[in-house]
Amino acid sequence: MASATYGNLLKAAQPRVIHDDKTYRRALKRVDELMKRRQLSPAEKMLLELLAKLVNDYEEEQYPTPDVSPAAMLRHLLDAKETTQAEVARQTGISRSTISEMQKGRRAASVENAFRLAEYFHVDATLFLARR
């Protein structure tokens, strides 16, 4: 289907706003199929972006993310990845003391450091930025 046009892909996939688990699972399966491919055509990339947005909107509505402080999120990600402050410092270029202060909630992440952490942990940078 790599040569299919976006219109043809839309016709085959028939994406729609997700209101139930059946539609959610179907869209998620299609997203998974597209993500497993080595290379996507521009049309497939557009379809993937659309389906991912629909899936994300449904997940945010059904399973809202709890309001977690940036410090708590950093602690969680360190634990989940089973890594150390020293390793994160080496990989991101953020000083170990800065990471320690951020983890304790004594220091807010700069925008630059939020993006470095986001890239390292493969998450959204806003998780590390203070909310008001």
Task: Specify the amino acid at residue 54.
Answer: L
What pLDDT shows up at residue 131? 67
User: Tokens at residue 100, please?
Assistant: 């320690």
What pLDDT shows up at residue 96? 96
For the whole model, what pTM was predicted? 0.53
- Is residue 76 within 8 A of residue 68, CB to CB? The reply is yes
CA distance to 20, 46, 47, per residue, from 37 (Å): 27, 14, 13
The tens-digit pLDDT sequence of the chain (132 residues) is 457 899 999 999 999 999 999 999 999 999 999 989 889 999 999 999 999 999 989 988 998 877 889 999 999 999 999 999 999 999 999 999 999 999 999 999 999 999 999 999 999 888 898 765
Tokens 């043809």 belong to residue: 8
